[in-house]
Amino acid sequence: MKDTMASAKVEMYTKWGCPYCVAAKALLDSKGVQYSEYDITMGGPKRAEMLERVPGAVTVPQILIDDRPVGGSDDIHALDRAGKLDPLLGL
């Protein structure tokens, strides 16, 4: 039986009302992946942190797996379709 607890650290920068953020969270939730979510709707230190960690990021979500930027919702869905997301997540 496969353990659904990912061994990778997953973090996501989001904004309130963002449909792409909802789609990305739904994909991770469907895989039973736990993630840290940082809401940058009002800007502040977490937005500055996102820009430092993902230079040039202008959209949300910004998703990091084991501190490596992997892009946004379209990117993780593409990785999933290609069979490359589960290995990144340690599933």
In a domain, 2, yes or no: no
Q: What is the pLDDT of residue 5?
A: 57
The whole-number average pLDDT for the span 76-88 is: 97
**Is 4 part of any domain?**
no
- Note the pLDDT tens digit of each residue in 4-51: 455 899 999 999 999 999 999 999 999 999 999 999 999 999 999 999
Asked, for residue 21, whether it belongs to a domain, the answer is yes
Q: How many folded domains does the chain comprise?
A: 1
**40 CB-contact burial (10 Å; exposed 0-12 / middle 13-18 / buried 19+):** buried
Residue 1 counted as domain residue: no
Chain-centroid distance of CA 37 in Å reads: 8
What pLDDT does 11 receive?
98
Q: Which pLDDT belongs to residue 7?
A: 82
The yes-or-no verdict on residue 85 having pLDDT over 50 is yes
Question: 73: domain CATH number?
Answer: 3.40.30.10
Q: Which domain holds residue 51?
A: 10-89
Domain assignment present for 71: yes
Name the pTM for this structure. Answer: 0.91
DSSP assignment letter at 58: -
